């Protein structure tokens, strides 16, 4: 099972520019979480801070008792082995075959024999649906295949925490749908904690157990997916509806006068949204244990949630409250 990730009071700046401040959240063990936000809000910086590749000025990231911000470098390096990281562009070596790209972490960080490496790599290639392409170079395959190869490489060290940075970038809607299903199936198979950074609304609506959003140097919200998907906060409503009207501008947040003018023109309110069902594992996949744990956890916290979120949760679970699968 995956490992819980606890983020407490994280603040990150580059020089005088504050990227985000006082971010606190918990990624529940084994569940799939998504971090949304407009471009330039520091989502990738957040991923790199969790794994210890960037050092925030304040706060802690606790994983198995190790603080990825402040613990000794030796402990951070050891804990980093629990992670698999899927980069935005796949980050494959252009001169290596897919097999050698995926095998690279095993050859670099373990002492496994070549026969063991071949077995592990081919298993991961099978999981992501790339059997038969292992001899090809990255330049000989599509962007979607490169994404899946990057995911296979993230899996070879059996990570308990998987971080995916914009896994949908450059993909058409059909390939994005396939990738979304692959991420759910993967979670059903290995029960790893997953955090996906994206601004793709299809992934956000159908994949995660939990959702958060970064905007204007702050974490707007983080919690069960239904909380964000039913939120009436202007920035959330604007983002999920893809509207021009709202706090998000072309390059940064809008000023108060612009927002007031939009309200006067009657463009400030979005229609209520329907929460679409979360993806289920494909036929033949195991039951997703994270979904069972999440259901118990969310039902136990119902009294703390907004009414719209409570209604959406009950609507999603009502057909299965008699003991059916979900």
Residue 82 lies inside a defined structural domain of this protein: yes
The contacts of residue 154 (CB under 8 Å, 6+ apart) are: 84, 85, 86, 162, 164
CATH of the domain at 105: 3.40.50.300
Q: Please give the share of the chain, as a percent, with pLDDT higher than 90.
A: 65
Residue 325 lies inside a defined structural domain of this protein: no
pLDDT of residue 253: 58
Residue 186 lies inside a defined structural domain of this protein: yes
Residue 74 lies inside a defined structural domain of this protein: yes
CA–CA dist 192, 178 (Å, integer) = 19
Does residue 257 surpass a pLDDT of 60?
Answer: no
Residue 326 lies inside a defined structural domain of this protein: no
- CA distances (Å), origin 146, targets 32, 64, 150: 22, 32, 6
- Which single residue is written with the structure tokens 């799939």? 32
The contacts of residue 179 (CB under 8 Å, 6+ apart) are: 144, 147, 148, 167, 168, 171, 203
CB 159 within 8 A of CB 107: no
Q: Are residues 76 and 208 in the same domain?
A: yes
E-assigned strands of 31-143? 32-36, 58-63, 66-67, 83-86
Q: List the 66-67 sheet strands across, edge first.
A: 17-27, 5-14, 58-63, 66-67
Q: Are residues 253 and 297 in the same domain?
A: no
Does residue 276 surpass a pLDDT of 70?
Answer: yes
E-assigned strands of the chain? 5-14, 17-27, 32-36, 58-63, 66-67, 83-86, 161-165, 193-197, 210-215, 218-224
CA–CA dist 249, 246 (Å, integer) = 8
Does residue 214 surpass a pLDDT of 70?
Answer: yes
pLDDT of residue 155: 92
pLDDT of residue 20: 93
Q: Are residues 133 and 164 in the same domain?
A: yes
Residue 283 lies inside a defined structural domain of this protein: no
pLDDT of residue 140: 93
The arithmetic mean of pLDDT across residues 139-167, rounded, is: 91
Q: Are residues 182 and 153 in the same domain?
A: yes
Count of structural domains within the chain: 3
Q: What is the pLDDT of residues 70-79, one digit of tens each?
A: 999 999 999 9
CB 151 within 8 A of CB 192: no
Q: Are residues 252 and 151 in the same domain?
A: no
Average pLDDT, the chain: 88
Q: Structural domain of residue 243, as residue ranges? A: 231-272
Residue 201 lies inside a defined structural domain of this protein: yes
Mean pLDDT is highest, among 41-50, 89-98, 244-253, for: 41-50
Q: Point out which residues pair with 11 in neighbouring strands.
A: 58
Does residue 325 surpass a pLDDT of 70?
Answer: no
Of 64-78, 131-145, 201-215, 238-252, the range with the lowest mean pLDDT is 238-252
Torsion of CA 12, 63, 164, 128, to 10 degrees: 170
CB 135 within 8 A of CB 167: no
pLDDT of residue 254: 52
């Amino acid at each position: 099972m995956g490992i819980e990730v606890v983020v407490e009071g994280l603040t990150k700046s580059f020089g005088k520019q504050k990227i985000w401040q006082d971010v606190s959240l918990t990624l529940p063990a084994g569940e799939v979480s998504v971090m949304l936000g407009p471009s330039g809000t520091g989502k990738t910086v957040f991923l790199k801070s969790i794994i210890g590749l960037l050092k925030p000025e304040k706060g802690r990231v606790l994983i198995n008792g190790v603080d990825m911000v402040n613990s000794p470098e030796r402990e951070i390096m050891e804990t980093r082995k629990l992670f698999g990281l899927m980069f935005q562009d796949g980050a494959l070596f252009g001169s290596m075959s897919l097999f050698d790209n995926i095998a690279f972490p095993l050859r670099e960080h373990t002492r496994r024999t070549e026969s063991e490496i071949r077995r592990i790599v081919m298993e991961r290639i099978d999981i992501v649906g790339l059997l038969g392409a292992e001899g090809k170079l990255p330049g000989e395959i599509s962007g979607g295949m490169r994404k899946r190869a990057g995911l296979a490489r993230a899996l070879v060290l059996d990570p308990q925490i998987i971080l995916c940075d914009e896994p949908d970038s450059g993909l058409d809607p059909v390939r994005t749908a396939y990738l979304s299903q692959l991420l759910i199936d993967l979670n059903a198979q290995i029960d790893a904690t997953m955090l996906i950074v994206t601004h793709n609304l299809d992934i956000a609506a159908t994949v995660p157990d939990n959702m958060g959003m970064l905007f204007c140097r702050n974490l707007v919200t983080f919690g069960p997916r239904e909380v964000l998907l039913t939120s009436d906060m202007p920035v959330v409503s604007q983002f999920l509806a893809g509207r021009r009207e709202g706090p998000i501008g072309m390059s940064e947040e809008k000023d108060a006068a612009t927002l007031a003018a939009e309200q006067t023109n009657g463009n400030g309110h979005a229609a209520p949204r329907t929460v679409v069902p979360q993806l289920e594992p494909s036929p033949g996949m195991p039951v997703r244990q994270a979904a069972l744990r999440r259901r118990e956890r969310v039902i136990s916290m119902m009294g703390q949630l907004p009414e719209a979120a409570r209604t959406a949760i009950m609507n999603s679970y009502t057909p299965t409250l008699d003991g059916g699968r979900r």
